[in-house]
Amino acid sequence: MSGNLIQGLSRGLSVSIQRTDLPSTGSGEPVNAPVAAAVANAFFDATGVRIRRAPMTPARVRAVLKAASVA
């Protein structure tokens, strides 16, 4: 193919890069899904207390530990 043919075809090509009407499905997003569960399970293994809400902020961690009389 010559360069002029490719340039001519690309002028008529429309590409949508950002689809805000659909959930993210990029290569990194599926891998991130189990991370929060793994962190919550590690926290449970270390403390014996479950965190069942995300995000796991420092304030929420302190509140969960205080409610469980651990901290």
DSSP type of residue 35: H
Residue 45 lies in a domain: yes
Q: Which helix (H) or strand (E) holds 46?
A: helix 29-47
Number of domains present in the structure of the chain:
1
Domain that holds residue 51: 33-71
Look at residue 11 and tell me if it is in a domain.
no
Task: Mark 10-38 as b/e (b = at least 16 C-beta within 10 Å).
Answer: eeeeeeeeeeeeeeeeeeeeeeeeeeeee
Q: Is the pTM of this model over 0.95?
A: no
Q: Judge whether 40 lies within some domain.
A: yes
Query: Per-residue pLDDT tens for 24-48?
Result: 666 666 666 788 889 999 999 999 9
Task: Say if CB 48 and CB 70 are below 8 A apart.
Answer: yes
